[in-house]
A and B are shown apart, each in its own frame.
Chain A
Amino acid sequence: GEDVEQSLFLSVREGDSSVINCTYTDSSSTYLYWYKQEPGAGLQLLTYIFSNMDMKQDQRLTVLLNKKDKHLSLRIADTQTGDSAIYFCAENPRGGNKLTFGTGTQLKVEL
């Protein structure tokens, strides 16, 4: 497809793991990003992965990249209420400067 695709909603219990999935469009993208947006705020860069990597781990965050399927995922371990936000994946098509974003996944963490 031509759009970066993400599921719209995800609900998890506090303490569980969250997995947010993304299908991107351009196999020549050199970087894949995950951003977090809290209500009324801008985008906070969470993590990013270079396209020649399969996995990147940063504290509670694990990014997995499947280039063959153009699939990116973000796993949040031990999800907390403060993780409730909208999560956007983004790619840089043709290795360029402008980012193409998904429509975002709203993560709700329940007690």
Chain B
Amino acid sequence: GAGVSQSPSNKVTEKGKDVELRCDPISGHTALYWYRQRLGQGLEFLIYFQGNSAPDKSGLPSDRFSAERTGESVSTLTIQRTQQEDSAVYLCASSQDRDGPQHFGDGTRLSIL
């Protein structure tokens, strides 16, 4: 597609379960980013990929959070043993290269019961 695609758009799960969130960046974009947006707040950086490597994962809040990228394309953000404070919208962005403007997907709204 023409834009960044994220799935699922909504995810409701029970506390303690693991979740996987998927991001398909714009074709040809080498840089990929994950951010988290809590209700009524701005975005918090989580992790940055250049190609399949993650030179900056400084924003991951705990070791329950991990992410990978394969084929210099799709990325998956995994949250293990979810907690209620993980409830947020998780946004993915991509850019053509490390200096280009970031284009965002519509996000995955994660609700932990």
Are A and B associated in one complex?
A: yes
Which positions in A face B, CB cutoff 8 Å? 4, 30-31, 33, 35, 41-45, 48, 88, 90, 96-104
Report B27-72 residues with CB < 8 Å from chain A CB: 31, 33, 35, 40-43, 45, 48, 50, 56, 58-59
Q: Is B98 on the interface with A (CB-CB < 8 A)? A: yes
Q: Is B107 on the interface with A (CB-CB < 8 A)? A: yes
Q: Is B13 on the interface with A (CB-CB < 8 A)? A: no
Beta-carbon nearest neighbor of A35 in chain B: B104
Which positions in B face A, CB cutoff 8 Å? 4, 6, 31, 33, 35, 40-43, 45, 48, 50, 56, 58-59, 91, 93, 98-99, 101-107
Contacts A33-B101, A97-B48, A103-B40 known; 14 new A-B pairs at CB < 8 A? A31-B101, A42-B4, A42-B6, A42-B91, A42-B104, A43-B43, A45-B102, A45-B104, A97-B33, A97-B56, A98-B45, A98-B48, A98-B59, A101-B42
Kindly provide the distance from the CB of A49 to the nearest chain B CB, expressed in whole angstroms: 11
Q: Is the CB of B104 within 8 A of A97?
A: no
Question: Which B residues are in CB contact (< 8 Å) with A35?
Answer: 104
Kindly provide the distance from the CB of B108 to the nearest chain A CB, expressed in whole angstroms: 10
Beta-carbon nearest neighbor of B42 in chain A: A101
Q: Is the CB of B91 within 8 A of A43?
A: yes
Would A42 and B101 be within 8 Å (CB), given that A98-B33, A99-B43, A103-B41 are in contact? no
Question: Which A residues are in CB contact (< 8 Å) with B4?
Answer: 42
Would A43 and B104 be within 8 Å (CB), given that A97-B31, A98-B48, A98-B56 are in contact? yes
Q: Is the CB of A88 within 8 A of B105?
A: no
Kindly provide the distance from the CB of A58 to the nearest chain B CB, expressed in whole angstroms: 13
